[in-house]
Structure 1
Amino acid sequence: MKPFIFNKIKDITGICGIARAFLRVSMLGENDLIIAICLPGCSKGIIELLIQAKEKNIKILAITDCLSLPMVAFADVTLLAIAQYNILYTINMAMFALIESLTTALAIKIKKSADYLTKQTDYLLPYFYFNTEE
């Protein structure tokens, strides 16, 4: 997603984990959005991070598969990604599909990224489509 919005998306955890996330949140403001993605087992550090974000009036979008998680209480909007079957690999697939859909919708909404996606699709399509009638 990064090339589509020209470095406006930041991974606030990075390789340094929660310590770096607290530093990054301290630099965010009211016009920013934190997307908190969590399956059951959300850490205490994430909750403390969301509390800090709320104190700064930062918007929070929670993506989870369970409304009873503590982070939901801090979210301005919560999206549920629930798998029909509780099998390890299907739990994450619903969340991946939701995140992919959000990413695609955002990319299409931004004019430059939509143009880029169109050019990329036009270039790659011949490699994925075979006309068997010729």
Structure 2
Amino acid sequence: MKNEPTRVLVVEDHQVVAEGLAALINDQKDMKVVGHAGSVAESLTRAAELKPDLVLVDFRLTDGTGADAASGIRQLRPETKLIFLTREDTDAARFAALEAGASAFIHKSRAAQDVVDAIRTVAEGGSLFTPRGIAQLLNSRREVEAELALVE
């Protein structure tokens, strides 16, 4: 266990949600919010400036998707861990998060403690994507691609 708190960047375009997440996270002894970004472009700038250990990112942002933000952050800082916290509940969103390098995908309807636990798990090198869940996503994607190939 490291001595320094996990440094978290919150990427969320709704200010009240971002402030609530910051209050929740900053209430923990082992993590702290180092900044907030409300867009893809701002998330890249803030990640480069603040060098967070972990980014908590919404899927829908004003100028793109959380997957766009996550991919850009991973290019800038490959060691940064990513968690998607979103209202999206589709296989396409989960697959985009996984493809962008996320270690977790959490629905916003989950309890606050679930978010805190996810941050701890991912910060310690874990993932909330199970092998079975990943296999299901890949199979779902293959089925869609096969159906599209039939239409062409």
- TM-score grouping bracket, smaller chain normalisation: 0.3 to 0.5
Q: Larger Rg: 1 or 2?
A: 1
**Normalised TM-score (structure 1):** 0.47
Higher strand share goes to which structure? 2
**Normalised TM-score (structure 2):** 0.43
Higher helix share goes to which structure? 1
